[in-house]
Structure 1
Amino acid sequence: MTTLKTKLQDDLNVAIKARDELRSATLRMTLAAITKEEVAGKEKRELSDDEVQKVITREAKKRREAAEAFAQGGRAESAEREKAEGEVLAEYLPKQLSDDELAQIVAQAVEEAKAAGAEGPRAMGQVMKIVNPKVAGQAEGGRVAAAVKQALAG
């Protein structure tokens, strides 16, 4: 069974041989972040696929934020590079939920929270506790929070 980290390393070797500078640089940075996470703390450990996926998600988010910052700063070339790196990382992440799918999951969670006696904007925490495990890795936290707020307000 190949792990996600092994797949990243194999893909890095392929990218280096193909002289794909963007892909190889992106995968190198990601593998470095994974290694840093593995040696953080008191003793070295091997990350599970879920933990590796969280590191990749964090790296992809950094690329999105950097692309936005470069675009606002008038550095279009750097913004394009960050977007391209984010697209490379997206290949290793699970498919993101569409807005409709997310809204449907949130609506179910709001109903569950109402059945438990929580209503209105104060129910946000309880609804988030129900929604987060269902959408883990498939939707960004900000999107989820916005959808929950909208469902509770509406």
Structure 2
Amino acid sequence: MSLEQTVNDDIKKAMLARDEAGLRSLRAIKAAILLAKTAEGAKDALSAEDEIKLVQKLVKQRKDSLEIFEKQNRADLAKKEKEEIEVMEKYLPAQLSAEDLKPIIRKIIEQTGASGPSDMGKVMGVATKELAGKAEGKAISAVVKELLAQ
């Protein structure tokens, strides 16, 4: 079942359960899917990879907003963003932890022949492609910096 069908079914369930946060989040996902499908040059259906990227983008936007709201002491808005992040993350594959990333990134460093922090760009290019959907860019970057600094 595609993400769009799953989201549509979950919207119905959220409406029946009167789940405001879930409904708000699911409607945001549905709107993003519709925008992606109707964008210029877009295909009729999104691939599973595109669906994951789309949801990751939505989660990242909310995390950025959450950070801003917390800095501005806007607990009411921050709470809404947290709720939406929780709902949206259910539609993403499980994310790798920093400890799980280290052996994978060590192999990539060996493959690329990177020797220090100046080679971060080489490693990041390969790592982001290989770990797409499995880990967030910030997490990958942090582990790469740590390993190249050693």
TM-score, normalised to structure 2's length?
0.92
* Amino acid of the structure 2 residue aligned with 1:52: E
SS of residue matched to 1:45:
coil
Contact 2:3 2:51 in 1 (8 A): yes
Task: Find the aligned partners of 1:38 and 1:23 in 2 and give their Cα distance.
Answer: 22
Which residue is equivalent to 2:99? 100
The count of aligned residue pairs is 150
- C-alpha change, 1:20 and 1:75, in structure 2 (3 Å) is same
Give the C-alpha shift of residue 109 in structure 1. Answer: 1.1
Matches within 5 A, 1:132-147: 132-147=128-143
Q: State the Cα distance separating 1:146 from its structure 2 match.
A: 2.0
Cα separation, 1, equivalents of 2:82 and 2:89: 10
Q: Shift of residue 58 of structure 1?
A: 0.5
Deviation at 1:42, TM superposition (A): 4.1
Aligned counterpart for 1:119 among listed residues 110, 115, 118 = 115
Q: How far apart are 1:150 and its partner, in Å? A: 1.6
* Residues 65-84 of structure 1 mapped to structure 2, 5 A cutoff: 65-84=64-83
TM-score, normalised with respect to structure 1: 0.90
| Residue 131 of structure 1 pairs with residue 130 of structure 2 | no
- Percent identity at matched positions? 37
Superposed displacement of residue 128, structure 1: 2.0
Per-residue CA distance 1:15-71 (angstroms, 9 max, x = gap): 111111110111011110111111111466221121111111101111111111111
Unmatched tracts of structure 2, length 5 or more: none
Match of 2:15 in 1: 16
RMSD of aligned Cα (Å): 1.5
Instruction: Give the distance between the partners of 1:138 and 1:21, measured in 2 at CA.
Output: 29
Cα deviation, 1:114-152, whole Å, max 9, x if unaligned, reads: 2xxx42223222222332233111111122122112211
Give CA-to-partner distance per residue, 1:64-110, whole Å, 9 cap, x none. Answer: 11111111111112101101110000000011101101112111111
Do the aligned partners of residues 148 and 47 (structure 1) sit closer, same or farther apart at CA in structure 2, a change above 3 Å counting?
A: same
Q: Is the 8 A contact 2:11 2:26 kept in 1?
A: yes
Q: Which residue is 1:90 aligned to?
A: 89
Q: Counterpart of 1:150 in 2: which secondary structure?
A: helix
